[in-house]
């Protein structure tokens, strides 16, 4: 990455104020055939978290912190922020980079676990934005996997240590669910399990679980299970009274954390008689920013195909893990269910599930 003249910090984006919510959701779901009443239902989630998402503010803080860390190391390359679904849009940022004379940049996507939804769509969005900008749009070379980077693990553990949690609590690591068909075409679950295992070891946990949140899309399609609400109910039946959620699947607080965990999961916990606790996302924790600085340093080795494809992944110890595959057991089956999610077929052709 020695030829990179700048850093492109790529994020999902979110609504800054109530009147932004529906336009934002329309951008996110464009071309997916999501009924408007479904959008209205999702928009209601934002009413529970202040009528906006803090993700843009957090992302700006992350980018600014990265500028500071790079500058302290003598790296004066500029850091630009571009977003898939809200201002500053990727095409706006790439046009500014072109006007500033940037010809080549290193791209960092704020998604730790790789699947078609969290990697290839970002890569495609950057390429589409480059096409809109036209001649002179900078080339972007993305960093490789970082789900098990030691500084990322340190940041998650540090956020846990910022709070005191009850002794004997059940520990659950949470992440965004994705369609089973998508999970089988990537190493998404393997990456999540590795992060959870490394964090658990650092915290000295003897037992833990991985659960999923934020399921959406076609209700006929199978998504990764178990859902966190089911985990809460099952734990309650076993006598658990305190549960700690560690949201490793997100690097900033937004609706999938502030609503799906702090409102929806908490309601499920209250109904089940379980006291729910949560650690913060990594946000702009210094260890997380140090990790990004390490990934984008000028002498960082190129990631090759791993930078743009989720069909395989590479662990820090050198192991390469291929996609889970059609016959894998990444989709959870519940004993005794007549229609378990792991055996449901994908939705009909032409219907793209929302992720």
Confidence category of residue 327, pLDDT binned at 50, 70, 90? confident
Say yes or no: 301 and 176 in one domain.
Answer: no
For residue 124, the tally of other CB atoms under 10 A from its CB is: 13
pLDDT for residue 349: 45
* CA 242 vs CA 211, 213, 261, 266, 343: distances in Å: 16, 19, 15, 12, 32
pLDDT at residue 91 greater than cutoff 50: yes
For helices 188-203 and 150-161, angle between their N-to-C axes, nearest 10 degrees = 50
Confidence category of residue 352, pLDDT binned at 50, 70, 90? very low
Say yes or no: 158 and 253 in one domain.
Answer: yes
Selected residue with higher pLDDT from 26 and 338: 26
Say yes or no: 179 and 226 in one domain.
Answer: yes
For residue 17, is it within any domain?
yes
Say yes or no: 73 and 14 in one domain.
Answer: yes
Three-state DSSP state, 275: strand
Say yes or no: 297 and 220 in one domain.
Answer: no
What number is the average pLDDT over the span 223-241? 95
pLDDT at residue 351 greater than cutoff 60: no
Among 176, 178, 319, 173, residue whose Cα is nearest residue 246: 173
Say yes or no: 67 and 136 in one domain.
Answer: yes
Least confident of 69-73, 245-249, 323-327, 331-335: 331-335
Say yes or no: 139 and 15 in one domain.
Answer: yes
Among 112, 111, 103, residue whose Cα is nearest residue 141: 103
Q: Where are the beta strands (DSSP E) in the chain?
A: 6-11, 79-83, 104-109, 139-142, 170-176, 209-213, 242-246, 275-278, 312-314, 320-322
Q: What is d(CA 353, CA 220) in angstroms, rounded to the nearest whole number?
A: 10
Domain ranges, residue 222: 150-278
pLDDT for residue 222: 87
How many domains is the chain partitioned into structurally? 2
Q: What is d(CA 153, CA 202) in angstroms, rounded to the nearest whole number?
A: 8
Say yes or no: 170 and 44 in one domain.
Answer: no
Three-state DSSP state, 314: strand
């Amino acid at each position: 990455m020695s030829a990179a003249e700048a850093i492109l910090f790529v994020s999902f984006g979110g609504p800054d104020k109530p009147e932004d919510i529906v336009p934002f959701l329309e951008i996110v779901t464009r071309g997916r055939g999501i009924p408007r009443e479904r959008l209205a239902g999702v928009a209601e989630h934002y009413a529970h978290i202040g009528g906006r998402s803090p993700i843009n503010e957090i992302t700006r803080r992350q980018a600014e912190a990265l500028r500071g860390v790079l500058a302290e190391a003598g790296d004066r390359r500029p850091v630009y922020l571009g977003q898939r679904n809200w201002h500053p849009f990727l095409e706006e940022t790439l046009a500014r980079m072109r006007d500033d004379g940037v010809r080549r940049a290193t791209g960092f996507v704020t998604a730790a676990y790789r699947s078609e939804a969290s990697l290839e769509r970002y890569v495609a969005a950057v390429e589409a934005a480059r096409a809109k900008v036209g001649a002179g749009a900078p080339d972007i070379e993305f960093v490789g996997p970082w789900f098990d980077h030691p500084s990322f693990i340190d940041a998650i553990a540090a956020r846990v240590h910022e709070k005191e949690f009850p002794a004997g609590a059940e520990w659950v690591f949470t992440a965004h669910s994705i369609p089973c068909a998508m999970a089988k075409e990537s190493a998404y679950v393997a990456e999540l399990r590795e992060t959870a295992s490394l964090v658990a070891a650092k915290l000295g946990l003897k037992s833990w679980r991985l659960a999923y949140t934020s399921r959406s899309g076609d209700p006929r399609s199978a998504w990764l299970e178990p859902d966190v609400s089911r985990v809460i109910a099952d734990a309650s039946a076993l006598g658990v009274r305190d549960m700690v959620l560690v949201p490793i699947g997100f690097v900033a607080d937004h609706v999938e954390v502030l609503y799906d965990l702090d409102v929806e999961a908490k309601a499920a916990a209250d109904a089940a008689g379980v006291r729910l606790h949560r650690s913060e996302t990594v946000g702009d924790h210094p260890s997380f920013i140090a990790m990004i600085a390490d990934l984008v340093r000028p002498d960082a080795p190129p990631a090759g195909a791993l930078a743009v494809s989720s069909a395989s992944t590479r662990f820090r110890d050198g192991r390469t893990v291929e996609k889970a595959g059609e016959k894998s057991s990444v989709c959870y089956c519940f004993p005794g269910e007549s229609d378990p999610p792991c055996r449901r077929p994908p939705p009909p052709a032409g219907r793209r599930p929302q992720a």
